[in-house]
Amino acid sequence: MMDAALVESIIRILFAGVIITAAYIISTRNLLSLVSVYALQSATLVGIALCLYTIEGAVVLLGIALVTFASKVLIIPYFIATIQERIRIKRDIEFHYLNPTTSLFLSMALMLVIYMALSSIMPNVSGKPTLFFFGAVVGLSLVLMGMMVTFSRKRAITKVLGYLTMENGVLLFGMFVTELPFIIEFLIVIDLIILVILTAILTVGIDSTLEEYHNRLHRFYLWEGTEDVP
Amino acid sequence: MNGEFVAYCVINALAVLAIAPLYMSLIKKVKAWTQGRQGPSPFQTYANLAKLFRKEVIYSPNSSRVTRVAPSITLAAILVAALFVPLAYVPAPVGGIGNIILFLYLFALARFFMALTGLDAGSPFGGMGSSREMSLAAVIEPVTIIVFAALAFVFASLNIFDMFVISAASAFPVTPTLILLAISLFIILIVETARIPIDNPETHLELTMIHEGMILELSGKNLALMELAAAVKFTVLSALLINLVLPFGLVTTFSVAGVLAALLLFLIKGAVLSGIVGIFESSMAKMRFFRLPSLFVMAFFFSTLTIIIEVFA
> What pLDDT digit, counting tens, does each position of A212-222 carry?
666 666 666 65
Domain-located, residue A227 = no
* Per-residue pLDDT at A219: 66
Domain-located, residue A160 = yes
CA atoms of B252 and B136, how far apart (whole Å): 37
List Cβ neighbours of B241 (8 Å cut-off, separation of 6 or more).
Answer: B182, B185, B186, B189, B273
Give A27's pLDDT tier (boundaries 50, 70, 90). confident
Which residues of A have a CB under 8 Å from any CB of B?
9, 12-13, 15-17, 19-20, 23, 27, 99-101, 104-105, 107-108, 111-112, 115-116, 119, 130, 133-134
* Per-residue pLDDT at B202: 81
The number of CA neighbours under 13 Å toward the Cβ of A162 is: 21
Distance from CA of A225 to the nearest CA of B (A): 34
* Per-residue pLDDT at B115: 93
List Cβ neighbours of A170 (8 Å cut-off, separation of 6 or more).
Answer: A139, A143, A188
* Per-residue pLDDT at B271: 95
Distance from CA of A87 to the nearest CA of B (A): 24
CB contact burial A104-134 (16+ within 10 A = b; e otherwise): bebbbebbbebbeebeeeeeeeeeeeebbbb
Judging contacts by C-beta atoms under 8 Å, the chain A residues touching residue B185 are none
Domain span at residue A20 reads 4-93+101-219
| CA triple B64-B70-B73, angle to 5 deg | 150
* Per-residue pLDDT at A222: 57
pLDDT score of A226 more than 50: no
CA atoms of A132 and A1, how far apart (whole Å): 20
| CB spacing of B304 vs A108 below 8 angstroms | yes
Q: Is B275 exposed, middle or buried (0-12, 13-18, 19+ CB in 10 A)?
A: middle
Measured between CA atoms, the residue of chain B closest to residue A28 is: B294
* Per-residue pLDDT at B17: 95
**Among A19, A101, A112, beta carbon nearest to B294:** A101
pTM of the model as a whole: 0.86
- The larger pLDDT score, comparing residue B61 to residue A29, is at B61
Phi, psi values for residue A103, rounded to 5°: -60, -40
* Per-residue pLDDT at B82: 94
Per the structure, the count of domains in chain A is 1
How would you write the pLDDT of chain B (313 residues) with one tens digit per residue? 688 888 889 999 999 999 999 999 999 999 999 999 999 999 999 999 999 999 999 998 989 999 999 999 999 999 999 999 999 888 888 888 889 999 999 999 999 999 999 999 888 888 889 999 999 999 899 999 999 999 998 888 999 999 998 888 876 666 777 888 899 999 999 999 988 888 888 877 777 788 888 988 899 999 999 999 999 999 999 999 999 988 888 888 888 888 899 999 999 999 999 999 999 999 888 888 888 888 888 899 889 888 877 776 6
8 Å CB contact between A107 and A151: no
Distance from CA of B140 to the nearest CA of A (A): 14
Q: Which of B301, B131, B286, B108 is nearest to B195 (CA)?
A: B286
CA atoms of B128 and B108, how far apart (whole Å): 19
CA atoms of A168 and A139, how far apart (whole Å): 8
Please compute the mean of the pLDDT values over residues A3-13 and round it to a whole number.
81
pLDDT score of A227 more than 50: no
Judging contacts by C-beta atoms under 8 Å, the chain A residues touching residue B246 are none
Judging contacts by C-beta atoms under 8 Å, the chain B residues touching residue A133 are 313
Domain-located, residue A197 = yes
Lowest-pLDDT range of A100-104, A179-183, B130-134, B250-254 = A179-183
Please compute the mean of the pLDDT values over residues A191-196 and round it to a whole number.
80
CA atoms of B227 and B229, how far apart (whole Å): 5
* Per-residue pLDDT at A126: 44
Longest dimension (CA), chain B: 60
pLDDT score of A208 more than 60: no
Q: Is B50 exposed, middle or buried (0-12, 13-18, 19+ CB in 10 A)?
A: exposed
Judging contacts by C-beta atoms under 8 Å, the chain A residues touching residue B313 are 130, 133-134
CA atoms of B72 and B222, how far apart (whole Å): 8
Domain-located, residue A226 = no
Q: Is A57 exposed, middle or buried (0-12, 13-18, 19+ CB in 10 A)?
A: exposed
* Per-residue pLDDT at B73: 96
Measured between CA atoms, the residue of chain A closest to residue B313 is: A130
Judging contacts by C-beta atoms under 8 Å, the chain B residues touching residue A111 are 305, 308
| CB spacing of B298 vs A27 below 8 angstroms | yes
Give A149's pLDDT tier (boundaries 50, 70, 90). confident
Using DSSP, state whether A117 is helix, strand or coil. helix
CA atoms of A214 and B194, how far apart (whole Å): 51
- What is the signed CA dihedral for B279, B283, B288, B294, rounded to 10 degrees? -80
DSSP A155-176: SHHHHHHHHHHHHHHHHHHHHH
Task: Tell me which DSSP letter residue A89 carries.
Answer: -
Give A28's pLDDT tier (boundaries 50, 70, 90). confident
CA atoms of A6 and A16, how far apart (whole Å): 16
pLDDT score of A211 more than 50: yes
Give A175's pLDDT tier (boundaries 50, 70, 90). confident
Domains of chain B: which residue ranges? 3-312
DSSP B211-226: HHHHTTT--HHHHHHH
| CB spacing of A23 vs B302 below 8 angstroms | yes
| CA triple A126-A132-A133, angle to 5 deg | 95
Longest dimension (CA), chain A: 63
Amino acid at B260: L
* Per-residue pLDDT at B174: 65
CA distances, A77 to each of A28, A33, A41, A129, B72 (Å): 17, 11, 11, 34, 55
